[in-house]
Amino acid sequence: MPAIEVGRVCLKIAGRESGEKCVILEIIDENFVEVVGNSVKNRRCNIKHLEPMDETIDVKSGDVEAIKKQLKD
């Protein structure tokens, strides 16, 4: 299973946005991360509600729109 890390693309598996892809922007603590995606609002999310995928995105710029564009491609 891929590690939970900044830039990791994940699939939400719980909640209203389940089935949607998102990217980890920040690790808040051992249970929560901040995520954003094309149809996922920028918010904190429980790690248990995410399934990490093999791909990663460079999020060092902090530009949410650029991250969403990379996720779309």
Residue spans per domain, the chain: 8-72
Kindly report whether the global pTM for this prediction surpasses the value 0.85: yes
> Residue 60 pLDDT more than 80?
no
pLDDT recorded at residue 61: 67
Over residues 43-59, mean pLDDT: 94
Q: Which fold has domain 8-72?
A: SH3 type barrels. (2.30.30)
Percentage, residues of the chain above pLDDT 90: 74
What H or E segment, with its residue span, contains residue 66? helix 64-72
Give the torsion through C-alpha atoms of 44, 15, 1, 39, to 10 deg.
Answer: -70
> Residue 62 pLDDT more than 80?
no
22-42 per-position pLDDT tens digit:
999 999 999 999 999 999 999
